[in-house]
Amino acid sequence: MNVTDRSQSDGTAGNNERTGAGMPLQLGESHYRAMVEAFDGFVYVCSADYRIQYMNTRLIERTGRDATGETCYQALQGLDNVCSWCANEKVLCGESQRWEVKNPRDNRWYHISNTPILNADGIMFAQAVITDITTRKMAEIERARYFQFFLTSSELMCIAGADGYFKRTNPSFSRVLGYSEQELQTRPLIEFIHPDDRQRTIAEIKNQLSGSFVTQTFENRYLRKDGTCCWLSWNAYFDERENVIFGIARDVTEQKRFEYKLAAAKDAAEAGSRAKSEFLANMSHEIRTPMNAIRGMAQLLEYTELSSIQKEYLNAILVSSDSLLSLINGILDFSKIEAGRLELEQSVFSLRRSIGDLVQAQMPLLYTKGLTIRTDIPDDIPDGLMGDQLRLKQIMLNLLGNAIKFTSSGGIVLSIAMQERAGDAVVLRFSVSDTGVGIKPEVREKIFDPFTQADDSTSRNFGGTGLGLSICAKLVKLMGGSIEVESGEGIGSTFHVAIPFIAGPGRGEHRQPCGGERAPTFECRPLHILLAEDNALNRLFLSRFLEKFGHTLESVQNGTEVVEKWEQNSYSLILMDIQMPGMDGMDATRLIREREKQKGGHTPIIALTAHALREDRQNFLDQGFDGYVSKPIEIGVMMEEVKRCLQGREMLKPL
The pLDDT of residue 530 is: 95
Helix then strand then coil, % of the chain, to nearest 5: 45, 25, 35
Quote the CA–CA distance of 633 and 639 in Å, as a whole number. 10
Strands (DSSP E) contained in 62-120 are 97-103, 108-118
Residue 303: closest CA among 314, 287, 288: 314
CA atoms within 13 A on the CB side of 625: 25
List the chain domain ranges. Answer: 15-134, 153-251, 257-338, 347-504, 528-652
With a pLDDT cut of 70, the percent of the chain lying above it is: 84
Residue 76: closest CA among 91, 87, 64: 64
Question: Domain 528-652 falls in which CATH fold?
Answer: Rossmann fold (3.40.50)
Q: Is residue 512's pLDDT more than 60? A: no
Quote the CA–CA distance of 158 and 160 in Å, as a whole number. 6
- Tens-digit pLDDT profile for residues 344-375: 888 899 999 989 888 887 887 888 888 999 99
Residue of higher predicted confidence among 539 and 504: 539
- Tens-digit pLDDT profile for residues 151-198: 888 889 998 988 889 999 999 999 999 999 999 999 999 999 999 999
Strands (DSSP E) contained in 505-583 are 528-532, 552-556, 573-577
The CA distances from residue 582 to 159, 590, 607, in Å, are 68, 15, 17
Hey, do 257-338 and 347-504 end up sharing a CATH topology, with the first three levels equal?
A: no
Q: Is residue 528's pLDDT more than 90? A: yes
Residue of higher predicted confidence among 203 and 16: 203
Homologous superfamily (CATH) for 347-504 = Histidine kinase-like ATPase, C-terminal domain (3.30.565.10)
Quote the CA–CA distance of 225 and 239 in Å, as a whole number. 29
List Cβ neighbours of 652 (8 Å cut-off, separation of 6 or more): 524, 525, 643, 646
DSSP 3-state of 44: strand
pLDDT confidence of 466, banded at 50, 70, 90?
A: low
Q: Is residue 15's pLDDT more than 60? A: no
The pLDDT of residue 237 is: 83
Residue 410: closest CA among 390, 435, 389: 435
- Tens-digit pLDDT profile for residues 208-265: 677 655 677 888 999 999 999 999 998 888 887 778 888 889 899 999 899 889 888 8
Q: Is residue 612's pLDDT more than 80? A: no
The pLDDT of residue 313 is: 82
Residue 192: closest CA among 150, 153, 164: 164
Residue 436: closest CA among 483, 476, 495: 495
The pLDDT of residue 17 is: 37
Hey, what CATH class is 153-251 in?
Answer: alpha beta
The pLDDT of residue 443 is: 76
Q: Is residue 442's pLDDT more than 50? A: yes
Q: What is the mean pLDDT of the chain?
A: 81
The pLDDT of residue 280 is: 65
Q: Identify whether the C-beta of residue 543 lies closer than 8 Å to the C-beta of residue 553.
A: yes
Q: Which residues pair with 103 in a beta bridge?
A: 108
Selected from 3.40.50.300, 2.60.40.420, 3.50.50.100, 1.10.287.130, the CATH number assigned to the domain covering 257-338 reads 1.10.287.130
Q: Identify whether the C-beta of residue 132 lies closer than 8 Å to the C-beta of residue 110.
A: yes
Quote the CA–CA distance of 497 and 343 in Å, as a whole number. 19
- CATH no. of 15-134: 3.30.450.20
